[in-house]
């Protein structure tokens, strides 16, 4: 029983990271209607910034995360402005290919700057591990912080969208870009803001991901990026609570299937579950019904 | 518009799944989905051996291994170790009077790049090959070299198939031999009776050692309390595997894997407050050189390696001193394997009278026969001999990491 709880909590922790990354995918998709495949690599850049600030320059973890958030925000806005904005009227396929291109560009820049040798990441989390049930159950500080951060981010983001003008503008743009523009909403600005928020979250996800699984290579972001994308689709892409549910479910399913079915087949099982969910509910768990127009 | 969105979404999903599938198939490309796109640093790195090694009277030895990428430490060590041996031999008159010219090419531990490197070296005029450093590329290159009848001696390619063909020999132990030797070592030294294993099932090196270890463990009275795998696509989160090992009550965790994952396992074991003994094979060599790695985590980790830099014999001392002088670091077993490889070639070439004007195929025929007749005292073993199937015959040794350095056990 204790081990089940432990598998479950570790799954929640993994799922929380997926959820934070999935938020980036889902917000950008909901508002700009594009799949930003470079999102996973922004996470990696965030990880490297924290690594450089904390381990190489010797500053504190708070400074590292702050700087990573700032740099990733700038990076996200620059990517959007340079690579995606000129393609706003182009076919969705062109944007998708561009996003994949940006992803490779970021990986190769990291490869050039930091080299491909893996770096051991010093955890930014200083919370001590929690020992429960006479030490039979240990929950690491990283796990606690990851889950709590995920919840805080989720609440913060939902409040932001519901209560602020900028958030309302995002909602409006996601409903109908053209009508929003006619109502006097700055569509380009709103999309840039979306990228800024998504990338800032990516920086936090990077720091949390690398703290829990302390290794850093230029490819660190790609697999979690794909999994988080799956989580976003799983929960219903475009939906913020969907990203949370999708991420957490994915993490828990992955860990439990590793524990009770096969440690080698966990990825296959995760993707099989995704296929089943999409067959039953093509728009994901919380996805909006897409009414077909003829 | 909406419909095209849906199409786009399904396309995106298809891409994501396809990407993850390719990543499954790519086996040893431990970088995950995007092992492509790293085609840099492939330029030739010729060592002007002994200063005067051009034109006539030189034997051209090629080397292949990863000097960038996640296993770069191995390739770099082999390159340096081989270079050191080549320089020494050239300074002492070469092989049968012929100087050696050594050219090392990067393969990033990628099978395709390795075959490309092999072809580059052939164009350069390579007469025999020291390499490749890692197993999967070695198997790929072996198919080519056996076609060409090019003599190939791998310092460290330990998969069974690395010596599949007649022209292939190796200096290190094969994976099954390492697995068996590990089980024997643990059994004979009574290190533990309940053992957990965590291995990479998508990697030929790791699963090769694992399989033999499991079968040999039964003969040694070792109980396998938990036997868990991971794959190249899922190699960062080890919480489940470690938890199972802990629940099973294992006193020792056997890690027949590479150091980059081992560093993660050690860190995660500490996070969850689990402190068993850890035992690994030569793949753990390099653990202490991972950038920013807290070496305290590796304290008391044991590994089966044929070479300990602190050994007191003259040969090791001399090698370590000159290696440190030249490359400013302590050599690991890969450097020692490569050093022995070059000296084994020298011994075999001298025995069979290889000269610089012979072509690769003629050299190969001579060396194939001579390798089974020589016996050398190398860094990785005394009285090393080779059988015709390419396997070395030498005794296993283990080291323990104490205060951040290897200490002979």
Instruction: Decide: A249 and A234 in contact? Cβ < 8 Å.
Output: yes
Contact B70 A140 (CB under 8 A): no
In angstroms, the separation between the Cα of residue A160 and the nearest Cα of chain B is: 26
**Contacts with A165 (C-beta within 8 Å, 6 or more apart), sequence order:** none
C-alpha distance from B57 to closest chain A C-alpha (Å): 38
Closest residue, chain B, to A284 (C-alpha): B9
In the predicted model, what is the mean pLDDT of chain B? Answer: 84
For A140-180, the pLDDT digits (tens) are 888 899 999 999 999 999 999 999 999 999 989 988 888 99
Searching chain B, which residue's CA lies closest to the CA of residue A259?
B240
Q: HSE (CB half, 13 Å, CA atoms) of B45? A: 17
Give residue B33's pLDDT: 36
pLDDT tens readout for residues A88-117? 888 888 988 999 999 999 999 998 898 777
For chain A, what are the domain ranges? 2-6+15-230
Q: Across residues A75-86, what is the average pLDDT?
A: 93
Q: Check whether B36 has a pLDDT greater than 60.
A: no
Average pLDDT on A252-267 reads 89
Q: What local confidence, expressed as pLDDT, does residue B47 receive?
A: 47
CA atoms within 13 Å, Cβ hemisphere of A193: 18
The answer to whether the Cβ–Cβ distance between A121 and B13 falls below 8 Å is: no
At residue B148 the predicted structure's pLDDT band, cuts being 50, 70 and 90, is very high
Q: Mutate which of B271, B273, B287 to test chain A, going by most A C-beta atoms within 10 A?
A: B271
Residue-level pLDDT at B397: 77
Q: Which of A43-57, A210-224, B52-66 has the lowest mean pLDDT?
A: B52-66
Mutate which of A89, A120, A237, A284 to test chain B, going by most B C-beta atoms within 10 A?
A120
pLDDT value of residue B9: 60
Task: Please report the number of interchain residue pairs, chain A to chain B, with beta-carbon separation below 8 angstroms.
Answer: 164
pLDDT at B85: 94
The percentage of residues in chain A with a pLDDT greater than 70, rounded to a whole number, is 97
Encoding tokens for residue B328?
A: 């400013």
pLDDT at A164: 93
Q: What pLDDT is stored for residue B7 in this prediction?
A: 64
Distances in whole angstroms, Cα of residue B265 to Cα of each of A12, A36, A143, A262: 19, 32, 16, 19
The chain B residue lying nearest A271, using CA atoms, is B17
Q: Is B34 close to A104, i.e. CB distance below 8 A?
A: yes
Confidence at residue B41, expressed as pLDDT on a 0 to 100 scale: 40
The β-bridge partners of B130 are: B63, B153
Confidence check: pLDDT of B27 > 60: no
Cβ-Cβ contacts under 8 Å, A121 against chain B = 292
CB A35 to CB B267 under 8 A? no
Looking at A191-205, B241-255, B301-315, which range is the least confident one?
B301-315
- The predicted pLDDT at position B28 comes to 38
Q: What average pLDDT score do residues B189-214 get?
A: 90
**B42, B235, B292, best to mutate vs chain A, most A CBs in 10 Å:** B292
Predicted local confidence at residue A137, as pLDDT: 79
Which residues on A lie below 8 Å from B3 (Cβ)? 292-293
SS3 readout for chain B: CHHHHHHHHHHHHHHHHHHHHHHHHCCCCCCHHHCCCCCCCCCCEEECCCCCCCCCCEEEEEEEECCCCCCHHHHHHHHHHHHHHHHHHHHCCCECCEEEEEEEEECCCCHHHHHHHHHHHHHHCCCEEEECCCHHHHHHHHHHHHHHCCEEEECCCCCHHHHCCCCEEECCCCHHHHHHHHHHHHHHCCCCCEEEEEEECCCHHHHHHHHHHHHHHHHCCCEEEEEEEECHHHCCCCHHHHHHHHHCCCCEEEECCCHHHHHHHHHHHHHCCCCCEEEECHHHCCHHHCECCCHHHHCCCEEECCCCCCCCCHHHHHHHHHHHHHHCCCCCHHHHHHHHHHHHHHHHHHHHCCCCCCCHHHHHHHHHHHHCCCCEEECCEEEEEECCCCCEECCCCEEEEECCEEEEC
**What pLDDT was estimated at residue A75?**
95
Whole-model pTM: value is 0.74
Question: Are B264 and A214 in contact (CB < 8 Å)?
Answer: yes
Shortest distance, CA B62 to any CA of chain A (angstroms)? 24
Q: How far is CA A210 from CA A47, A69, B261, in A?
A: 7, 15, 14
pLDDT at B54: 39
The residues near B327 (Cβ < 8 Å, ≥ 6 apart) are B80
Q: How confident is residue B332, by pLDDT bands cut at 50, 70 and 90?
A: confident
Structure tokens at B229: 């795998």
How high is the pLDDT of residue B120? 94
How far, in Å, CA of B158 to CA of B329, rounded? 24
Rounded to whole angstroms, the Cα distance separating B321 from A17 reads 47
The predicted structure's pLDDT at residue B91: 92
To probe the interface with B, which of A14, A18, A118, A239 has the most B CB atoms within 10 Å? A118
For residue A3, the chain B residues in CB contact (below 8 A) are: 243-244, 247
* pLDDT (mean) for B327-347: 91
CB contact under 8 A, B290 and A111: no
B4 pLDDT band (50/70/90 cuts)?
low
Quick one: pLDDT at residue B40?
Answer: 40
Tokens of A41: 């690599």
Best mutation target, A116, A205, A211, A282, to test chain B (most B CBs within 10 A): A116
A130 or A10, which is more confident: A10
State residue B346 phi and psi, 5-degree precision: -60, -50
Cis peptide before B132 (omega within 30 of 0): yes
pLDDT tens-place string over residues B361-406: 999 999 999 999 999 988 888 888 999 888 888 877 788 888 888 8
pLDDT one-digit tens code per residue, A281-293: 888 888 776 555 5
Q: How confident is the model at residue B77 (pLDDT cuts 50, 70, 90)?
A: very high
How far apart are the CA of B261 and the nearest CA of chain A, in angstroms? 9
The owner of tokens 């919480």 is B239
Are B291 and A10 inside 8 Å of each other by CB?
no
Which residue did the predictor score with more confidence, A202 or A284?
Answer: A202
- pLDDT above 90 for B265: yes
User: What is the rounded average pLDDT for all residues in chain A?
Assistant: 88
- For residue B3, name the pLDDT band (cuts at 50, 70, 90): low
**Residue range B84-101, pLDDT digits in tens:** 999 999 999 889 889 999
Residue B271: list chain A partners with CB under 8 A.
Answer: 129, 140-142, 212
Nearest CA in chain B to A110: B38
Does position B30 have pLDDT exceeding 70, yes or no?
no
Q: How far apart are CA B28 and CA B204, in angstroms?
A: 8
Q: Could you say which of A108, A118, A259 has the minimum Cβ distance to residue B260? A: A118
Residue scoring higher pLDDT (B175 or A14):
A14
Partner-chain contact B272 A107, CB within 8 Å: no
């Amino acid at each position: 029983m204790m081990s089940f709880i432990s598998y479950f909590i570790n799954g929640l922790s993994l799922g929380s990271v997926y959820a934070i990354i999935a938020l980036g995918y889902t917000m950008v998709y909901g508002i700009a209607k594009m799949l930003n495949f470079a999102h996973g690599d922004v996470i990696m850049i965030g990880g490297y910034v924290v690594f450089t600030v904390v381990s190489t320059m010797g500053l504190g973890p708070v400074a590292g995360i702050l700087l990573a958030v700032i740099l990733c925000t700038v990076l996200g806005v620059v990517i959007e402005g340079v690579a995606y904005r000129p393609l706003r009227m182009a076919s969705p396929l062109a944007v998708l290919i561009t996003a994949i291109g940006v992803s490779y560009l970021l990986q190769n820049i990291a490869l050039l700057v930091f080299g491909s040798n893996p770096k051991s990441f010093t955890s930014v989390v200083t919370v001590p591990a929690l020992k429960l049930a006479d030490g039979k159950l240990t929950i690491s500080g990283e796990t606690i912080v990851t889950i709590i951060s995920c919840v805080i981010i989720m609440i913060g983001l939902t409040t932001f969208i519901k209560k602020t003008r900028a958030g309302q503008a995002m909602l409006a743009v996601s409903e109908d870009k053209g009508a929003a523009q006619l109502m006097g909403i700055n569509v380009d600005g709103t999309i840039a803001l979306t990228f800024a928020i998504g990338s800032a979250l990516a920086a936090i996800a990077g720091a949390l991901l690398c703290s829990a699984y302390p290794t850093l290579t230029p490819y660190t972001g790609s697999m979690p990026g794909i999994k988080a994308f799956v989580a976003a689709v799983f929960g219903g892409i475009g939906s913020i609570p969907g990203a949370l549910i999708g991420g957490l479910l994915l993490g828990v399913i992955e860990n439990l299937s590793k524990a009770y079915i096969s440690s080698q087949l966990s990825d296959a099982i995760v993707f099989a579950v995704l296929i089943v969910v999409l067959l039953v509910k093509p728009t994901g768990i919380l996805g909006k019904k897409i009414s077909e127009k003829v | 518009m909406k419909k095209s969105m849906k199409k786009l979404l399904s396309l995106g999903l298809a891409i994501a799944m396809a990407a993850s599938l390719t990543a499954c198939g790519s086996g040893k490309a431990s970088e995950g989905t995007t092992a492509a796109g790293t085609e840099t640093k492939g330029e030739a790195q010729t060592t002007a051996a002994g200063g005067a090694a051009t034109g006539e009277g030189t034997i051209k030895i090629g080397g292949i291994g990863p000097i960038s990428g996640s296993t770069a430490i191995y390739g770099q060590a082999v390159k340096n170790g081989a270079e050191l041996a080549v320089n020494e031999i050239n300074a002492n008159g070469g092989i049968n009077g012929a100087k050696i010219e050594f050219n090392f090419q990067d393969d990033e531990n990628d099978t395709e790049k390795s075959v490309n490197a092999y072809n580059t070296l052939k164009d350069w005029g390579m007469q025999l090959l020291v390499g490749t450093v890692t197993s999967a590329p070695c198997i790929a290159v072996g198919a080519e070299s056996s076609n060409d009848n090019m003599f190939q001696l791998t310092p460290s390619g330990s998969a069974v198939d690395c010596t599949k063909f007649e022209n292939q020999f190796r200096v290190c132990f094969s994976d099954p031999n390492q697995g068996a030797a590990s089980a024997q070592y643990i059994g004979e030294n009574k290190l533990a009776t309940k053992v957990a294993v965590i291995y990479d099932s998508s990697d030929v090196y790791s699963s090769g050692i694992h399989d033999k270890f499991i079968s040999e463990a039964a003969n040694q009275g070792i109980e396998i309390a938990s036997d868990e795998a991971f794959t190249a696509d899922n190699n960062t989160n080890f919480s489940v595997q470690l938890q199972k090992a802990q629940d099973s009550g294992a006193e020792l965790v056997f890690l027949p894997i590479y150091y980059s994952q081992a560093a993660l396992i050690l860190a995660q074991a500490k996070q969850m407050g689990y402190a068993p003994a850890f035992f690994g094979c030569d793949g753990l060599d390099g653990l202490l050189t991972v950038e920013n790695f807290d070496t305290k985590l590796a304290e008391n980790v044991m590994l089966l390696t044929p070479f300990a830099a602190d050994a007191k014999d003259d040969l090791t001392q001399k090698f370590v001193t000159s290696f440190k002088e030249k490359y400013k670091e302590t050599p690991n077993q890969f450097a020692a394997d490569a050093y022995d490889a070059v000296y084994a070639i020298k011994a075999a070439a001298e025995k069979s009278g290889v000269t610089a004007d012979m072509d690769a195929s003629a050299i190969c025929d001579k060396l194939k026969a001579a390798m089974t007749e020589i016996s050398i005292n190398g860094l990785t073993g005394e009285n090393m001999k080779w059988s015709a199937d390419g396997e070395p015959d030498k005794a296993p040794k283990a080291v323990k990491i104490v205060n951040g350095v290897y200490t002979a056990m």
